[in-house]
Amino acid sequence: LPSRSSKQSKCHHHRITIAMKTKRSGSRSTTIMASLHQRAACLAIALLSLSNSAESFPINRGLQPAFSPHNSALHATTEIDETDAQIRDRILDEIDSGLRTYTQTDVKLSDYGEPEDALITDEDDDGAIDSATLGQWDESDFQGKYDYEWDPDAGDEDPNNLNPEYEYVQDIPLDEEGMEVGYDPAFGPSNPIDGRTILNPPDSYVIDKKTRDDRLVPKDFPDGDPELKSNAEIIAFRKGLRQIETYIDPFLKTEVPRHTAKWHGYAEQLSFPKQDYMNNRFTKPEDRTDFDALGPALARKVAVQMARAKNNEWLPAGTSRAYHESKTAIYKEKGIITGSTLPGDIDEDLATKIQPAMDVLGDVVELLSIEVETVFRFKYHGLIKNKRGMEAWAGVLIRNCDV
């Protein structure tokens, strides 16, 4: 195959030849020039398509434009830059049309990308978490507990219990006004001096007798120094005072105890506490039906019978009415309707006189009766929290009607 330079020279030669023929002849030369121009353009496309550098060599896809006297043949092959998407589509079209052939062995994947070692930099963290080593997440992850979580039902020891090795404050100190030290009226006791404040805190592990290593700790006094005994007595005397060690908190701007027993909080309640089965039930314990002892079939049968016993659809005719009359019979026997919603006598003159008040109250109340011309019974249909307010307001409206 010819090189790029040779192809460019040949194409330039064709353009010059076509231009010269155009100048020498008339209409016949124009036809010959157009034909030669098309053939040259097709030949250029074929040569460029078969070359290995076709995808990077910019060509004009419109190498066969309609000839116009206003366009010179020297501008017929004006080069334009192709985008990556256009190059991709052109190569795929050439493969489909058979102009470009290749096999899988022609493509070397090693020539593309970078080696894995080049992707590793000095900034990579060797201790980073790898997603492949995290395992599979499932519902069992919710069953795990942190160190500060404890379950009293499982027999876990309460971490809030005080350590018997230390002494704690018994009497809470008070200030000059008789308030607990550390108490803030606005925010309450943020860091109070209470029963969890330690009076004899442990020493540093470097000098504490339980963890001290004399080989690592330099001696304050040489052996046999007379000040060694007096210094020990002073230390013992200072610890025997049992004074509360405090410091000024930089955020609270107040004294807070330095050594306190850590508070881990209360146990987290994941469910409501277990209650008795008969809790908040209207059935008496002696009338309770033990469905667990009946079995599935018999328990369902008994449950249906109990449901139908209070359902009007399964009761005999007149049972519901008899039940209602038994509840209202006391009012008929005593001859009073106070305390019920039964309607009574209404004086039409008084009803007409208080009609402005009834128009204001609207559908919220319903006039039941008027007793001894001064007692008005209403049935209230509004919210129960507004009942007393509506009662007082209705009284004001009725008095404004000169009743």
pLDDT at 60 over 60: no
Whole-structure pTM over 0.75, yes or no? no
% the chain with pLDDT above 70 = 68
Q: What is the mean pLDDT of residues 67-85?
A: 55
pLDDT tens-place string over residues 373-401? 888 999 999 999 999 999 999 999 999 99
Q: What is the mean pLDDT of residues 192-204?
A: 86
Other CB atoms within 10 Å distance of the CB of residue 398: 19
pLDDT at 109 over 80: no
Contact 355, 402 (CB under 8 A): no
| pLDDT band of 364, cuts 50, 70, 90 | very high
Residue owning tokens 């469910």: 271
- What value does the mean pLDDT of the chain take? 75
**CB crowding 177-189: b at 16 or more within 10 Å, else e:** eeeebbbeeeeee
